[in-house]
């Protein structure tokens, strides 16, 4: 993007970091809109005072800047505004944020990253500059882009950002054949996984995982139960058992089954009766999905972020197709030995093109996070 990061001061970076944190509040709750953070700050010698705050409202509107300006009122005149995304220039359900910033008489706007939306794409910046407002772009851009990776993926590639979560034993196994759900990590790590579910719009698994483990795939952290994301099952032949436990809460937390045109209509109807939405995705002659096509369909639905939770074969196919953007690898403490199911990713077998972006410890278990470097 137009690199004007050199004009960002240390104070600018501090306020932008606060705006990015604010943007995370509504992560996953703003529909196809990104969750943007905006602050109105009255500059002072010592940095400044925040007089207005805004985060994109639930379902996507009103936008962050309008709310921050509303809170600031007259104090916005001559102030600096921090926005994690370029203020919009298009007329949607509300007038453009860029026009609102001009009307409010702000003196300076600091932006983390430009908006890839074709209706905006630099026009927001031009409106501000034409009105004589000083504009700084690229402030904490990498951090802001990470915070809205889902939106950028959907707008730029037409598909959701895909995170693969795996829990492996130290000898690189993700389970034991025919043993159903086995514990690889402890309770603290399992809670961390539930938090990851909260942060994504959908969880995706292959049908074998449902048949063998019978998981709920919901969030069961006290107070966050409502944040269970959509549960997606890759199930070409509509063989998800209608008695699967995940149907228990289908009315509250959607179940989306992706089946192929080869699935029996009766079985698909049975699953619909259990509360699932069954959507057809084209498959090959063996009834296998092309992972690219799966993500394309999920993009059409408008999903910005998906957490792929297994099993091994499903994970491997998305990894091999180069479609995984982030890997969260939990490593437990007890080895499995033989009859284990080998993980497609281990600490010593990381797919090419990934680098470590973070690590942590959850009880006795470790988490290593990798991201694709493009
Ligand atoms: C902003 N501030 O807080 C957000 C923005 O359907 P609409 O009218 O809400 O427009 C959606 C587009 O607006 C979305 O694709 C993105 O480009 C931008 N989102 N812009 O100025 C905000 N959430
Ligand atoms: Zn806007």
Q: H or E element: which one contains 331? A: strand 326-331
Residues 324 and 368 occupy one common structural domain? yes
Structural domain contains residue 120: yes
Residues 56 and 77 occupy one common structural domain? yes
Structural domain contains residue 153: no
Which ligand lies nearest the alpha carbon of 115?
1
* 368 φ, ψ (degrees, to nearest 5): -120, 130
Residues 124-165: pLDDT tens digits?
Answer: 999 999 999 999 999 999 999 999 999 999 999 999 999 999
Domain boundary among the residues 116, 147, 178 is at 147
Residues 235 and 170 occupy one common structural domain? yes
Q: Which residues have CB atoms below 5 A from the ion given as ligand 2?
A: 63, 88, 97
Cα–Cα distance for residue pair 188/192, rounded to 1 Å:
6
Residues 64-123: pLDDT tens digits?
Answer: 999 999 999 999 999 999 999 999 998 777 789 999 999 999 999 999 999 988 887 888
Structural domain contains residue 305: yes
Which of the residues are catalytic?
65
Structural domain contains residue 50: yes
Structural domain contains residue 154: no
Residues 110 and 184 occupy one common structural domain? no
Residues 166 and 308 occupy one common structural domain? yes
CA 30 – ligand 1 centroid, Å? 10
Domain boundary among the residues 108, 124, 147 is at 147
Residues 200 and 138 occupy one common structural domain? no
Contact between 163 and 300 under an 8 Å Cβ cutoff? The reply is no
Query: Mean of the pLDDT values across residues 280-306?
Result: 94
Residues 208 and 331 occupy one common structural domain? yes
Structural domain contains residue 132: yes
Spell out where the chain has E strands: 37-42, 49-55, 80-85, 108-113, 134-136, 161-168, 173-176, 202-206, 230-234, 255-259, 277-280, 305-308, 326-331, 340-342, 354-362, 365-372
Q: How many domains does the chain have?
A: 2
Provide the β-strand partners of residue 192: none
Domain, as residue range, for 78: 5-147
CA 94 – ligand 2 centroid, Å? 8
What is the domain-level CATH number for residue 299? 3.40.430.10
Structural domain contains residue 300: yes
Residues 351 and 233 occupy one common structural domain? yes
Residues with CB under 6 A from ligand 1: 33-34, 36, 56, 60-61, 63-65, 85, 87-88, 92-93, 97, 115, 117, 120
CA 85 – ligand 1 centroid, Å? 9
Domain boundary among the residues 147, 169, 201 is at 147
For residue 179, pLDDT beyond 70 = no
Residue 117 Cα: closest atom of ligand 1: 17
Structural domain contains residue 292: yes
Global pTM reads 0.88
**Protein residue whose Cα sits closest to atom 11 of ligand 1:** 33
Cα–Cα distance for residue pair 293/165, rounded to 1 Å:
21
Residues 272 and 136 occupy one common structural domain? no
**Protein residue whose Cα sits closest to atom 10 of ligand 1:** 92
């Amino acid at each position: 993007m137009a690199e004007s990061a050199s004009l960002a001061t240390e104070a600018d970076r501090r306020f932008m970091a606060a705006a990015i944190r604010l943007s995370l509040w509504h992560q996953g709750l703003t529909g196809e809109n990104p969750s943007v953070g905006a602050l109105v700050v009255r500059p002072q010698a010592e940095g400044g005072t925040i007089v207005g705050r805004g985060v994109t409202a639930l379902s996507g509107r009103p936008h962050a800047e309008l709310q921050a300006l509303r809170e600031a009122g007259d104090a916005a005149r001559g102030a600096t505004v921090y926005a994690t995304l370029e203020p919009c220039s298009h007329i949607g359900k509300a007038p453009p944020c860029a026009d609102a910033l001009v009307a409010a008489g702000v003196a300076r706007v600091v932006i983390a990253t430009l908006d890839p939306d074709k209706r905006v794409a630099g026009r927001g910046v031009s409106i501000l500059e034409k009105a004589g407002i000083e504009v700084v772009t690229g402030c904490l851009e990498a951090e802001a882009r990470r915070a809205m990776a889902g939106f950028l993926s959907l707008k730029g590639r037409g598909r959701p950002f895909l995170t693969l979560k795996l829990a492996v034993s130290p000898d690189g196994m993700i389970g034991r054949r025919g043993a159903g759900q086995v514990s690889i990590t402890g309770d603290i790590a399992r809670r961390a996984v539930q938090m990851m579910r909260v942060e994504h719009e959908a969880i995706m698994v292959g049908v074998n995982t449902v048949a063998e483990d019978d998981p709920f795939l919901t969030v069961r952290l006290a107070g966050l139960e409502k944040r269970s994301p959509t549960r997606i099952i890759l199930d070409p032949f509509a063989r998800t058992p209608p008695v699967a436990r995940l149907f228990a809460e289908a009315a509250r937390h959607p179940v989306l089954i992706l089946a192929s045109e080869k699935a029996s209509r009766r079985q698909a109807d049975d699953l619909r009766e259990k509360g699932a939405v069954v959507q057809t995705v084209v498959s090959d002659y063996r009834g296998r999905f092309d992972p690219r096509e799966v993500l394309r369909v999920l993009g059409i639905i408008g999903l910005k972020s998906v957490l792929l939770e297994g099993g091994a074969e499903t994970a491997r196919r998305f990894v091999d197709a180069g479609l995984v953007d982030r890997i969260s690898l939990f490593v437990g403490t007890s080895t499995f030995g033989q009859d284990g199911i080998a993980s497609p990713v281990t600490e010593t077998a990381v797919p090419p093109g990934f680098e470590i972006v973070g690590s942590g410890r959850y009880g006795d278990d470790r988490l290593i996070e990798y991201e694709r470097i493009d």
